[in-house]
Each structure stands twice: as structure tokens, then as C-alpha cells.
Structure 1
């Protein structure tokens, strides 16, 4: 591995430094700087990032837990590849957990302030979608607001257990709510798909407000199907395979 700019050393080599290394390595994997199947060792990362071994070891273990790396019997780690089914299953799992979250929210009830917060997030998305075409900045804003809304779903449930599970599931490779939004940004159907997704957002919030748990859960399960459709389209478009944003090179068709 060639040397690159060192990450800044913190006063402690614990959590914050580990997170920095974890984010940097994830970025390098998705950008193709660490290719699928490439062997990664602690010493090589020390040389490349200029960080001591303690946070690097912890970051590599976390990336293995996320599923981006696999530990080798000979030592070190390797960048994983994923089948289309692997990714579809992760998206399905997120939809299942989110469905449970909104069903519990509807059954248990949600405070007006939290409902208003979620509605304000969707209002901001509506403003973005008023444009007939979306530029890169608009798509970036959508990704941020979409992540914010999906993050609120756990809070709507009132369950700390579900909030933790949603965070865990969302960190699985390619399973985040906007995992395939940016890669579709330049397609003619991009805005149309976001409009459909936004309507589902509105419908699930309405179902929660009306205390219709089964309806809310069904909508979120269907919402995950839209993400799976984006996945299928992305895998089958050869011009997207080199997209560095979502690491399409790591996904192989079934």
C-alpha cells in the first residue's frame, strides 16, 4: 500500500480515533482504493494512515462486524464481495425492523412534538421535490433528510431496543435508507422514484397518527421493496458498476 495523508492523532487512542479509522477505511473500500478480495493487515494500515495499531485493530474488527471485511485464517482481513441476494436480504431486514417500529408507534401512541418533527422533515423533502430535475446538491440534501426521517422511526416506537437494532441494521453494507439513491441520481426515473418513496413516508406517518399499526407496518415493508428495486436496477446497469459512492464493484449479480 502506498502512503497517504496521516489521520490526526487524538490524545487517546480509544473510541473517537477508532471511529475515524473505521470511516476512512470504509470510504477507501467503497471508492475502490481497497479492492474486493484485497488482503488488509494492521501494519499496512499503520503505514498508510499513520495511526497506531490499537485503533486500527478495533476499526478492522468493527468493519468485520459490519460485514465489509472477513477475517482470514492466515491472518489479517480481506475486503468482502456480496451477492445481490446478500444485499437484498439486508434491505429486507431493515424494512422488517422499521415495520415493527412503526407498528409499535401506532399501537403505543406518539407525542405530538415527535410527530411534528417527523412531519417537518418530510416538509423539507417536499420542497426539494418541487423541482422537475434534481442536481447533485439536491440529491445530497435528500440523502441527509431521508436518513433523518428513517432515524426518527426508532424514536417513534419509543423502544430503545429497536433504536439500537435499527442503527445496527442500517450499518450493514448497502442497507442504509439511501444506499442506492445517489447511484440512481442521473437516471431519468430518479425524481419519480423519490416521489413514490416520499408518498410512502407520508402514508406511514398518517397510519401512525391514526393508530393503524398493521397498515403502518405494511407500508414500511413495501418501502423496502422500492430500495430492492433500486438495487436490481443498479446491478444490471454496467455504467453504474464503477460508481465510487456506493461501491458497486463489491456487488455481484445472482
Structure 2
């Protein structure tokens, strides 16, 4: 006699949903400067703040610790981490290295035609955004969304679920996402020019993948991460706290 199939526990599913929502809200508060670096976060305080029970709050705090935004304190609770400039630079370098490997494998293994077409369509969308003479906040938002999508597609082009997972993990490191510092360029006279350079690199990487030029694709992708390194230095040295409060979490080193 077959055992009856196990049904999902609605209470568990709801708790998981609440944990995700709490995680997103807490991350938003940290990066918006509402929870400054070094501040202590206690479970009960967050429960009262967000109106969510302790179990999903505890799960959310543990996930943010895994992301690197929080650290467990010896006396209990969690503290908002601060980062040296070198920490962030290393995270960006790691992303460039892993994405470079993904680009090389995509070229050497041969990416599916449908995936390549989707990547080209994504880049066409970025071209449309950059065709505007001036980039307002809405345009920057569209660029960030499309840029993230292209980098996600790059992971898929590699045909490696292992690499896709690693790229997903590394872009969650504090400030390591492909558009982590794009916002500091908003309202800058050089903003559009820098994004055009980044877009040209996107096109070259995709072209190298299509031509099965693995070494070139890898080198281009690693070079592409240098733009984020430059934006990091400008963000820290230029004190862009109004547009990007999270910069306060970075210590100059």
C-alpha cells in the first residue's frame, strides 16, 4: 500500500515567506543607512519593528549573516558589519574571476542559439536606454535591471549549474553585484560615457563567446569588473552618501 503523498505545510510555507520578506526589508534598511554600521540588532527589536514572529526573524538574520551584512555577536544578537575597501575590492575581483570562467566555458562548449539570442535582446535593451541624451533615475533603474539580467544570462550560457550557483552566491556579497556602484554615477557628466564603455565590453564578450574564443571571452569579462573597481574608489573617495548611504559601511584602507 502506497503512503499518501506529503502535502506542504501551509504554516511552514508562510513562515518561509515571512523570513524572505524580513530579510529583504532588513537588507534594505542596512543599505539605506537606517541601521548604521556597528549597530546591534536584537531579535525582539526586529520583531517589534517589522511585526513578524521570532522564528522568521531569526531565519532572516541568519541569512543576512551568511550574506556578510551581519555578524553574530558574542553576547547574542547580531551587529551590522563594516567593510574595508579591500574587502569590497576582493569581492568584485572574485566576481570578475568567476564570470570570466563562465564566459570561457560558454565559448569553449558552445552556447545554445536561443540563449545567445536572449543575451543579444538584453543588450539591445541596454542600447535603447543608452541612446537617450540624458539618463534620469528611471533610465538608471532600467539599466541596472537589464545589466543584472545580462550577467545572469552569462552564467546560464556557461552550461554549468555549479558556476551558475557560484555566481549567484558571489553577487550577493556586499557591494559585489554587477551594478553595485552604478548609482554613484547618476547625475554625473561622465555617467553615460562610462556605461557606454561597459556596454561595449558586453558586446565584445558576447561576440567572443559566439566565435568560440574562450581565452578572449575570459579576459574581457575580467577586465569588465575593473569598471566596478573604479566606481568603488570613486564612491569611497567622493563620499557619495546621499545617493548611496551604504557607502558609509565601507572603511577607506
Which bin holds the TM-score, normalised by the shorter protein? Answer: over 0.9
User: Which residue in the other structure is 2:67 paired with?
Assistant: 66
Does residue 1:243 correspond to 2:230, yes or no? no
Task: Flag structure 1 segments of 5+ consecutive residues without an equivalent.
Answer: 1-9
Distance 1:92 1:13 in 2: 37
Range with greater deviation from structure 2 (127-136 or 219-228)? 127-136
Q: What are the Cα deviations for residues 151-190 of structure 1, in whole angstroms up to 9, with x where unaligned?
A: 0011000011111101000000000110001121111111
User: Which residue in the other structure is 1:5 paired with?
Assistant: none
Is the 1:13–1:55 Cα contact (8 Å) retained in structure 2?
no
SS in 2 for 1:78: strand
Range with greater deviation from structure 2 (150-159 or 183-192)? 183-192
Is the 1:128–1:138 Cα contact (8 Å) retained in structure 2?
yes
Distance 2:64 2:155 in 1: 23
Q: RMSD of aligned C-alpha atoms?
A: 1.2
Q: What are the Cα deviations for residues 6-39 of structure 1, in whole angstroms up to 9, with x where unaligned?
A: xxxx954432211111000000001111111000
Task: Flag structure 2 segments of 5+ consecutive residues without an equivalent.
Answer: 1-9
Q: What are the Cα deviations for residues 101-159 of structure 1, in whole angstroms up to 9, with x where unaligned?
A: 01000000011111000000000100111112101111000000000000001100001
SS in 1 for 2:79: strand
SS in 2 for 1:236: helix
Is the 2:183–2:243 Cα contact (8 Å) retained in structure 1?
no
Does residue 1:77 correspond to 2:78, yes or no? yes
Is the 1:242–1:249 Cα contact (8 Å) retained in structure 2?
no
TM-score of the superposed pair, with normalisation by structure 2:
0.94
Distance 1:218 1:17 in 2: 42
Distance 1:15 1:204 in 2: 38
Distance 2:114 2:141 in 1: 26
TM-score of the superposed pair, with normalisation by structure 1:
0.93
User: Which residue in the other structure is 1:132 paired with?
Assistant: 133
Q: How many residue pairs align between the two structures?
A: 243
